[in-house]
């Protein structure tokens, strides 16, 4: 089953949920007011919408994520790769690295990741 789409404002909400779950919906609404400026009704609407799409569960007013943060991130990257780079990871990486500066530590980490991918795929 594929990961349900989480839109930008929903993603900001999900970040709060992932950090605090499981959490009562009333407490979640308070945090969303503090951090996002949302009214309680907005939070409850988003909870209902995300529950209907299978992103979260709301059982006895306790909200918990069904989609984990890393799953949502992977789905977003996959969508970006497909829509903007024709599914080409090398094209994505070329665009991503074109205007950025990297220190030696970052380069070493990326080289280690590449070696791990090579070993995993071998």
> Does residue 19 form part of some domain?
yes
- Tens digit of each residue's pLDDT (9 = 90 or more) over 16-38: 999 999 999 999 999 999 999 99
| Parent domain of 13 | 8-69
Q: How many CB atoms lie within 10 A of CB 46?
A: 24
- Tens digit of each residue's pLDDT (9 = 90 or more) over 36-93: 999 999 999 999 999 999 999 999 999 999 999 999 999 999 999 999 999 999 999 9
| DSSP-H helix ranges across the chain | 8-20, 25-36, 40-52, 69-85, 89-98, 104-121
Burial class of residue 70, CB neighbours in 10 A (0-12, 13-18, 19+): exposed
> Does residue 59 form part of some domain?
yes
> Does residue 110 form part of some domain?
no
Encoded tokens for 18: 């992932």
- CATH assignment of the domain containing 33: 1.10.10.10
Does the pTM surpass 0.85? The reply is no
> Does residue 97 form part of some domain?
no
Q: 63 phi and psi, to 5 degrees?
A: -105, 135
> Does residue 101 form part of some domain?
no
Q: Provide the number of structural domains found in the chain.
A: 1
> What average pLDDT does the chain have?
95
């Amino acid at each position: 089953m594929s990961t349900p789409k989480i839109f930008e404002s929903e993603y900001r909400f999900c970040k709060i949920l992932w950090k605090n779950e499981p959490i009562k919906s009333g407490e979640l609404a308070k945090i969303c007011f503090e951090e996002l400026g949302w009214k309680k009704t907005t939070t409850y609407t988003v909870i209902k919408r995300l529950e209907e799409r299978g992103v979260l569960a709301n059982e006895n007013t306790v909200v918990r994520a069904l989609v984990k943060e890393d799953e949502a991130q992977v789905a977003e990257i996959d969508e970006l790769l497909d829509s903007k780079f024709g599914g080409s990871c090398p094209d994505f990486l070329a665009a991503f690295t074109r205007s950025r500066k990297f220190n030696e530590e970052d380069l070493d980490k990326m080289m280690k990741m590449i070696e791990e991918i090579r070993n995993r795929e071998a």
